[in-house]
Structure 1
Amino acid sequence: MRRINLQEVAPEGFEHVRRLEGYIQRRLDKKLLFLVKLRASFINGCAYCVDMHSQHAIEAGESTRRLFAVATWREVDLFDERERAALALTDSVTRLGEGGVPDDVWDTAAKVYTEEELADLLLAIVTINMWNRIAIPSRNPLPA
């Protein structure tokens, strides 16, 4: 059962998060964005977001094979160099620990993305983690 509906209780704050989401959606390739959202949501255990983003990815033409493989992306060769760099950065930012993002992870991403693309990718990773951290404690129910 839902604990709180932030959209109703804190509409102004919620709208700021939505606007950031809108910016990200305009800036990043849709398939890459779905992979990032799905990977962070897997790590965070956000069932609501895994369900929503996997459905949206399928509707956008992403294969179910690649979507399932996001859980084990390091062991498969279904992702190109840019996608792998984005997934590695997603892992590091989502699991941000005491050491931060390792230099090798950042440097790999910086080699395949421009500085502007890297900034947008980082904002996308931060945004999905924010959505996960809204959905999980508020207990957003899955749609029927």
Structure 2
Amino acid sequence: MTLEPRIRNSAALLPDAAKGINLLYKAAHSAGVPGSTLELVHLRASQINGCSACVDSGARSARKNGETEERLFAVAAWRETPYFTEAERAALALAEAATRLADRADAVPDEIWNEAARHFGEKELAALVLWIATTNFFNRINATTRQPAPQNWG
């Protein structure tokens, strides 16, 4: 079953929104968190939310920026693979908790936060939280409006 998009490109329909989105992107990517970590966090949150457009674009962007196929294929099972650093694992755990807020009474337990804080400074943590929230923002827009992954990549 193929679902048709309900509307096309929300950002194009609301150009002022694109300006704000670009500022969020710039802020999250300028705080010193490695770009590869931000790519992994984006991909994992998008997988959880079932956002095909973001999973597709996130994996392609990560690959274009040097990420290996091995690591991309393993993001969904990051706990069971040896491919990720301790800092990346902490960021992925934070992304999962912040994406699944309703899954537990203490949405982001101290154990998860403290592990992330072992690897990232306060500014970097702020950037990670902002990037996770921004990813979830995109996932919700795309899922609600049924934005598909592109079918014709050249």
TM-score by length of 1: 0.93
Question: Residue 43 of structure 1: CA displacement?
Answer: 0.4
CA contact (8 A) 2:29 2:127 kept: no
Q: Does 2:147 match 1:140?
A: yes
Question: Residue 8 of structure 1: CA displacement?
Answer: 3.1
- Provide the rounded CA distance (Å) in 2 between the counterparts of 1:90 and 1:18: 21
1:55 paired residue among 57, 60, 67: 60
- Provide the rounded CA distance (Å) in 2 between the counterparts of 1:18 and 1:135: 17
- In the other structure, the counterpart of 1:24 is 28
Q: How many residues align?
A: 144
Q: Does 2:128 match 1:121?
A: yes
1:94-144: CA deviations, max 9, x gaps?
A: 001242201100011111111111111111111111111111111113222
Q: Does 2:116 match 1:83?
A: no
What code does the residue aligned with 2:88 have?
A: E
- Provide the rounded CA distance (Å) in 2 between the counterparts of 1:81 and 1:7: 35
Cα-Cα RMSD: 1.3
> Percent identity among equivalent residues?
44
Structure 1 residues without counterparts, runs of 5 or longer: none
1:3 paired residue among 6, 9, 29: 6
SS in structure 2 at match of 1:38: helix
SS in structure 2 at match of 1:141: coil
- Provide the rounded CA distance (Å) in 2 between the counterparts of 1:113 and 1:7: 31
Tell me which protein shows more helix as a share of its residues: 1
1:46-85: CA deviations, max 9, x gaps?
A: 0100100101111111001101110100111211110000
- Provide the rounded CA distance (Å) in 1 between the counterparts of 2:45 and 2:79: 14
How do residues 58-69 of structure 1 correspond to structure 2 at under 5 angstroms? 58-69=63-74
Question: Residue 29 of structure 1: CA displacement?
Answer: 1.6
- Provide the rounded CA distance (Å) in 2 between the counterparts of 1:60 and 1:8: 26
